[in-house]
Amino acid sequence: MTKPVLLPEPVSSTWEWQLDGLCRGMDSAVFFHPEGERGNKRSDRETQAKRVCAQCPVLQRCRDYAVAAGEPYGVWGGLSAPERLGWDTRATG
């Protein structure tokens, strides 16, 4: 008897959590800094993004994804790229 072929998991089930994100449909400029943005302007934008994330029902899934994937840019799961460095998803999830 032959073994059944295991198909890869459907992509939609891997990413469907993003459909519930509060950031969905928002201007991505809130979460990703423009070239050369520094100082108070960058800090204010990140604070705005983190406020959205703090209320988001998929915050932890988003954070876990960004850390595991090594997302190099933007605010994901309430963390900026520098904040994600060294973050251990096993400690939170």
Q: What is the DSSP string of 29-75?
A: GGTSPPTT--HHHHHHHHHHHHHHHHT-TTHHHHHHHHHHHT--SS-
Listed by start position, the domains of the chain span 32-92
**pLDDT for the residue numbered 86:** 80
Q: Which residues are annotated as a binding site for [4Fe-4S] cluster?
A: 23, 53, 56, 62
Q: Cβ(78)–Cβ(50) under 8 Å?
A: yes
Environment class of 46 (CB within 10 Å of its CB; exposed 0-12, middle 13-18, buried 19+): buried
Q: pLDDT tens digits, residue range 38-48?
A: 999 999 999 99
**pLDDT for the residue numbered 82:** 93
Q: Which residues are annotated as a binding site?
A: 23, 53, 56, 62
Q: Whose CA is closest to 62, among 34, 93, 40?
A: 93
pTM of the model: 0.80
Give dist(CA 75, CA 22) in Å, integer: 13
Q: pLDDT tens digits, residue range 27-79?
A: 999 999 999 999 999 999 999 999 999 999 999 999 999 999 899 999 999 99
**pLDDT for the residue numbered 10:** 65
